[in-house]
Amino acid sequence: MPDSDAPLGPVDATSVPRFAGPATFARLPRLDEADPAALRDGIAILGAPFDAGTSYRPGARFGPGHIRGASKLLRPFHPALGVEPFAAQQVVDAGDLALNPFDIPAALTAVQTGVSALRRMGLRVVTLGGDHTIALPILRSLATDGGPVAVVHFDAHLDTWDTYFGAPFTHGTPFRRAAEEGLLDLNRCVHVGTRGPLYSDHDLSDDETLGFQVIPADRYETGGVAEVASAISRRLGDRPVYVSVDVDVLDPAHAPGTGTPEAGGLTSRELLGTVRALAGRRLLGADVVEVAPAYDHAEITGIAAAHIVYELLAVMSAA
């Protein structure tokens, strides 16, 4: 018999085949289907289909649907952490925001408003991008009531460039704007997985001057997941953290479907292991961005992104 007090879970794959049923993340219930009282301390998956901030290949506006499509095979139990993310709290799919593709500031305002509305219901938000520009309004929402935010930023790129073609709000600039706006606890922010050519060595010195720490991708070669995880932990201290995952932190072999791919990246196992090591720490929210399905093959990137979201949900369940 179903327990009436238990959170409403995903559709049962033994009665509705996985390739049928709802198009929500992991076949979870929609926001409007869940008991409103159960939403407090729950988690919302939110789509932010937006790619007007991209500098190279576009298409991340189709990311949310692609990640949801690749999430159907996820199962209820996370063995490594011993948690059931969909039973530990109510998890819902809040659908997609309607974001203006021609007006970047308006789209960013809509992301902030949408995220804040969910947070007022007591939900933590895991956002499916969309390009990385959307991290800025999410951080604005978090900092408005919680003060400056510690961030673990997984990315091939620093995303602290100043402007592109004079534009301040792009996918290469969200963390510089966030730093300038005072949204970040800069002693507790770290980029993980950076690599590849830069515009100049000022990119690194500017980033350092802003206050960020960098754990480049090749640290996985010398120290592995355990050393990277303990460096992140030292940087964060005991602070709650926001986790921003640009899927291009993965090697193009593990995530071809993205807009600005860089060789020499993480394996999906390294990324999942590093996220897993955050278990026990409070996550304020998270995003997985830059999935551009037109460049994906065999759902490689979509599946990686869906599993990263699941890993984040498991960590949020284990705290």
Annotated binding-site positions: 132, 155, 157, 159, 246, 248
Indicate left, alpha or beta for 12 from its phi (over 0: left) and psi (-120 to 50: alpha): beta
Site for ligand ALG in 60-119 (CB under 6 A): none
Contact between residue 274 and residue 192 where contact means Cβ atoms under 8 Å apart: yes
Binding mask 137-166 for ligand ALG (x = CB under 6 A): --------------------x-x-------
Residue type, 266: L
Instruction: Compute the distance between CA of residue 203 and CA of residue 264 in angstroms, rounded to an integer.
Output: 19
Nearer to Zn ion, 89 or 244 (CB): 244
CB neighbour list of residue 87: distance below 8 Å, 6 or more residues apart: 6, 7, 9, 76
Q: Is 55 in the site for ligand ALG (CB under 6 A)?
A: yes
Can you tell me which of 27, 72, 157, 254 binds Zn ion, judged by CB under 5 A? 157
Q: Is 251 in the site for ligand ALG (CB under 6 A)?
A: no
- Taking CB under 6 A as the criterion, the residue among 172, 193, 252, 293 binding ligand ALG is 172
Measured between alpha carbons, how far is 106 from 103 in angstroms, rounded to an integer? 5
Q: Which of 141, 260, 268, 317 binds ligand ALG (CB under 6 A)?
A: 260
- Which of 51, 185, 246, 251 binds Zn ion (CB under 5 A)? It is 246
Among 72, 78, 119, 132, binds Zn ion (CB under 5 A): 132
**Could you say whether residue 262 binds Zn ion (CB under 5 A)?**
no
Residues β-bridged to residue 92: 44
Task: Return the residue of 51, 96, 155, 311 that touches Zn ion, per CB under 5 A.
Answer: 155
27 binds ligand ALG (CB under 6 A): no
Residues in the annotated binding site for Mn(2+)? 132, 155, 157, 159, 246, 248
Which residues of the chain form contacts with ligand ALG (CB under 6 A)? 55-56, 132, 157, 159, 171-172, 246, 248, 259-260, 290
